[in-house]
Amino acid sequence: MATETASTLNLDSIRSQFPALSQTVQRQPAVFLDGPGGTQVPRRVIAAIAGYLRRNNANTNGAYRTSRATDRMIETARAAMADFLGCDADEIVFGPNMTSLTFAMSRAIGRELAAGDEIVVTTLDHDANISPWRALEERGASIRMVDIREEDCTLDRNDLEQKITDRTKLVAFGWASNAVGTINPVREIVERAHAHGALAFVDAVHYAPHGPIDVRALDCDFLVCSTYKFFGPHLGVLYGKRRHLERFQPYKVRANTNAVPNRWEWGTLNHELIAGIPACVDYWADLGLQPGSSFSSRREALLAAHAAVERHERGLMAELIPRLLGIPGLTLYGIRDPQRFDQRCPTVALRIEGHSPLELATRLGKRGIFTWDGNYYALNLTERLGIEKAGGFLRIGPVHYNTAEEMERLLAALENIVRV
Ligand SMILES: Cc1ncc(COP(=O)(O)O)c(C=O)c1O
């Protein structure tokens, strides 16, 4: 496909770093289009996790070598995530996944809410950024749900403006939809929340593999992401402004100190997976390298990497979406206009008349093409669109390691399924 030439990524070199990508199904190379559910990991991440278990496996704060190495490793991982998000290392909290971290924060924030306080959430969001806030209805908080514009699955700006008021204490919203790929106007939403004295809690889980994050520039109060969505281990990461992490009161054990971020990290963390994080961030930084390029910091290299990834993914989407729209009986949910592709990720949700999403995913799976069907926990969205009971959508989720040839194989397979 012509657009591949616009990409500056060296796909052969990139793909050779991911052992999982060389698998075959029925002697055909497997096509991993399940990135939004979790991406594959490069060899160096696998090596870092295994290496930690081999050499340094210990608990923290002990007076001996492996324990001290573990302490240092966790600090290195914190610094790596701080580079990835653009904040200080002590503003990074590790947890098992985004959902657990969001519940932890909702419990703490909920301690300060009074009856009549409002929390704004959105129909576009994954349930992990809705249910933890809904749980606060027990404490008398009211949840206000921002609607979407059905025609392109973007947030309804008028509704957003009306729902955020001086009663709003927190606005919880996603940077990008894990179902239909819409990228929200995050900066604008943060500003609106702050103008009404509310906190802004951003779910960047879906956005993180697709675009750069700068929490300082965004000025959000909290941001959550999951490293397993951007080529790292199965872990969640929370950024919080230091003053919030210091002021809100977590439920914690006495042995946790009151220092940030320790007061938010209870029990023993998953050390071996945290050991994979610096390798994951370094993988990203190397993606930013071009012949002759030099960077004064890892953060600068990360930003260059994101620019290259965005270019490549735009190319994939520019070829994929118009071709999908030509398949008879296919409905594509979300932004379809190529002029607006800067407002979406390459994640595509569709339905094809006469074929359930499960049937499509199964038939593609048999051909070695891995996609998802259902709601992917974007349950409010599938309900709002009236497709929840009909099996949700088929989701095609390319990331930067996917190639134009893989898009061709997917399109040919779908065209064939529809024809037969
Ligand atoms: C947009 C979005 N938010 C939140 C989550 C939940 O993340 P975790 O599995 O880390 O709890 C997901 C997982 O798919 C997601 O896609």
Output phi, psi for 332, to 5 deg.
-105, 125
Residues in the chain: 420
What residues in the chain have per-residue pLDDT under 70?
1-5
pLDDT tens-digit series, residues 243-273: 999 999 999 999 889 999 999 999 999 999 9
* Residue 216 CA to ligand 1 centre (angstroms): 22
pLDDT score for 2: 38
Among the residues of 115-249, which ranges form H helices? 131-134, 157-163, 186-195, 215-218, 242-247
For ligand 1, say whether the CB of 344 is within 6 Å of any of its atoms: no
What secondary structure does DSSP assign to 116-127, as a single string?
Answer: T-EEEEETTS-G
pLDDT score for 116: 93
For ligand 1, say whether the CB of 315 is within 6 Å of any of its atoms: no
Q: pTM for the complete prediction? A: 0.97
- At position 58, the amino acid (one-letter code) is A
Burial of 12 (0-12, 13-18, 19+ CB in 10 A): exposed
For ligand 1, say whether the CB of 181 is within 6 Å of any of its atoms: no
State the number of CA atoms in the 13 A half-sphere of 186 facing the CB.
29
pLDDT score for 3: 40
For ligand 1, say whether the CB of 98 is within 6 Å of any of its atoms: yes
pLDDT score for 52: 98
Task: Report which DSSP code applies to 184.
Answer: P
pLDDT score for 105: 98
Instruction: Show the tokens assigned to 86.
Output: 């653009």
* Residue 288 CA to ligand 1 centre (angstroms): 26
Instruction: Show the tokens assigned to 32.
Output: 């991993």
Closest CA to 43 of 84, 10, 83, 13: 13
For ligand 1, say whether the CB of 126 is within 6 Å of any of its atoms: yes
* Residue 376 CA to ligand 1 centre (angstroms): 9
pLDDT score for 290: 84
**Distance (Å, whole) CA 194 – CA 283:** 35
Q: Taking a C-beta distance cutoff of 8 angstroms, is the pair 231, 45 a contact?
A: yes
E-state strands within 37-129? 92-95, 118-122
| CB contact set of 151 (below 8 Å; sequence gap of 6+) | none
For ligand 1, say whether the CB of 128 is within 6 Å of any of its atoms: yes
* Residue 189 CA to ligand 1 centre (angstroms): 20
For ligand 1, say whether the CB of 40 is within 6 Å of any of its atoms: no
* Residue 237 CA to ligand 1 centre (angstroms): 11
Q: Taking a C-beta distance cutoff of 8 angstroms, is the pair 141, 118 a contact?
A: yes
Task: Report which DSSP code applies to 18.
Answer: -
Ligand 1 atom with the shortest distance to the CA of 36:
16
| CB contact set of 380 (below 8 Å; sequence gap of 6+) | 123, 124, 125, 127, 130, 145
For residue 392, the SS3 value is: strand
| CB contact set of 13 (below 8 Å; sequence gap of 6+) | none
For residue 272, the SS3 value is: helix
Residue to probe by mutation, ligand 1, list 97, 98, 101, 127, most atoms within 8 Å of CB: 98
Q: Taking a C-beta distance cutoff of 8 angstroms, is the pair 307, 400 a contact?
A: no
For ligand 1, say whether the CB of 241 is within 6 Å of any of its atoms: no
